[in-house]
Amino acid sequence: MTADYETISLTRDGSLARLELQRPERLNAVAMTGAREMLDAARQIADDESLRMVSITGAGRAFSTGIDLKDLAAGQIDPSYFHMWDTALRAFETMDKLVLCLIHGYAVGGGLQLALACDIRACTPSAQLGLPAIKEGLIPGLGTFRLARYIGLGRAKSLIIRGNMIDGTEAERIGMVDHLVAEETAFEQYEALLAEYASTNSAGCRASKQMLLDCFDLGWDDFFRKYLVLQDRAVSAPDFAEAMAAYREGRDPRWE
């Protein structure tokens, strides 16, 4: 898992992949290079079987303000951008890893879409979140697919059609984000959350993610068949044996 990127960094921390958007001078807006790099990074992470978790953060004053509007207005972004970006987001959403992100400053447009493709979102109270693409004459990507699944159809329609912003406190209240972290200690609290989720991140945990991907889309029979396959896989995994040993010995499990 090595690559030289211009707009992001990707590093390994044991079984955790740390991905950081690194265009702080542009509030981590994503141009053509960024879309290509994000897709490459997502594929590298997805293919690395030794990784269990992913952390996504943004350098500087923002998580990400999404598509680079300056480049878009200058005609420097072509339609392949949208395919690359959403293919990358789908890779994070479906990969056999638990994906967490920390939102601060702004998560706007594609930045919020990236956050919605993560499994768990931590956020500061003052962060500004929204999908303002309607004001640019665009569809807000597959935020149209994901947002209603978190906050309900009515709220999603209102936010998307008006293109308005909400802060982190409101986002947590309506279920757009999962954890609020204090402004002054956001990164420390986020690291504690990473450790907490790592403690339960067994093969069964990641299989549960795969089940939840289809919880709104499959009928009961198909969902039940998928469950039986994945549960059998979980029971056969070394993590299950370790969990049972830990239970018998009165200790916390140590995942491989």
Q: Above 70 in pLDDT, residue 2?
A: no
- Whether the CB-CB separation of 55 and 97 falls below 8 Å is answered with no
d(CA 225, CA 77) in angstroms, rounded, equals: 43
Q: What are the C-alpha distances in Å from 189 to residues 162, 180, 181, 184?
A: 33, 9, 6, 10
Q: What is the pLDDT, as a whole number, of residue 169?
A: 98
Is residue 146 over pLDDT 90?
yes
pLDDT of residue 1: 61
Which range is most confident: 128-142, 160-174, 226-240?
Answer: 160-174
pLDDT tens digits, one per residue of 76-123: 999 999 999 999 999 999 999 999 999 999 999 999 999 999 999 999
Mean pLDDT of all residues belonging to the chain:
94
Burial of 231 by CB count in 10 Å (0-12 exposed, 13-18 middle, 19+ buried)?
middle
Q: Flag whether pLDDT at 10 surpasses 90.
A: yes
Q: What angle do CA 110, 111, 115 make, to 5 degrees?
A: 110
57-84, pLDDT tens digit by residue?
A: 999 999 999 999 999 889 999 999 999 9
Q: Residue 53: count other Cβ atoms within 10 Å of its Cβ.
A: 23
Cβ burial, residue 192 (10 Å; 0-12/13-18/19+): middle
CB 56 within 8 A of CB 118: yes
Question: Residue 20's closest CA among 39, 46, 38?
Answer: 38
For residue 163, pLDDT over 90 is answered with: yes
Q: What are the structural domains of the chain? A: 8-198 (3.90.226.10), 203-249 (1.10.12)
pLDDT over 90 at 36, yes or no: yes
3-state helix, strand, coil in the chain (%, to 5): 50, 15, 30
Query: Quick one: pLDDT at residue 156?
Result: 97
pTM: 0.93
Question: Among 252, 218, 224, 238, which Cα is nearest to 52's?
Answer: 238
Mean pLDDT of 144-170: 96
What local confidence, expressed as pLDDT, does residue 239 receive?
A: 87
